[in-house]
Amino acid sequence: MDTLTAHTQYTDLRGTAAADEADQKTLEDHLRATKRISPDEHLIAVTFYHSEGSTFVRAITVNTGDRKLIAEASSEGRKIQPRSLRSIRLEMSITQFFGYFKRFNVALVEDGMTGALNEVNIDNLPE
């Protein structure tokens, strides 16, 4: 079952990711321009998977009303799955995908070592 938790065939490395959307054209802008989402839908999640030369992108959208419900549930620590939640598979190159972000950061740690290294300041490590 696919979830919004990253995994690969072996998941040798685990980690986190963070991104800042581009100022000029976001992935949501692309979805609107290509008529993949309606005016009352919003992009709330995206998955990116690259395997042996192939790139797979999935946009997760929700309508305006359910977006508010998700935000409330998240702030209260509740889990919900609104009816309007929708998955859209997209074909695009790595370059096109990363073009929708002005900054993108990924940190990966050998599986099983994450807890021990969470607080390590890597800027202070010798090179």
Confidence of residue 84 (pLDDT cuts 50, 70, 90): confident
Q: By the 8 A CB rule, do 96 and 30 touch?
A: no
Secondary structure letter of residue 5 according to DSSP: S
Q: Looking at residue 98, what is its pLDDT?
A: 96
Domain ranges of the chain: 13-124
Answer whether residue 1 shows pLDDT above 60. no
Query: Is 105 or 4 the better-scoring residue by pLDDT?
Result: 105
Answer whether residue 51 shows pLDDT above 60. yes
Residue range 65-90: mean pLDDT, rounded? 87
pLDDT, averaged across the chain:
90
Q: Looking at residue 33, what is its pLDDT?
A: 96
Confidence of residue 121 (pLDDT cuts 50, 70, 90): confident
Residue range 118-122: mean pLDDT, rounded? 79
Q: Looking at residue 81, what is its pLDDT?
A: 79
User: What is the reported pTM?
Assistant: 0.82
Q: Looking at residue 68, what is its pLDDT?
A: 85
Phi-psi region of 88 (alpha: psi -120 to 50; beta: other; left: phi over 0): beta
H or E segment to which residue 58 belongs: strand 54-63
Residue range 13-26: mean pLDDT, rounded? 94
Residue type, 100: Y
Q: What residue spans of 56-108 are helical by DSSP H?
A: 64-75, 94-98
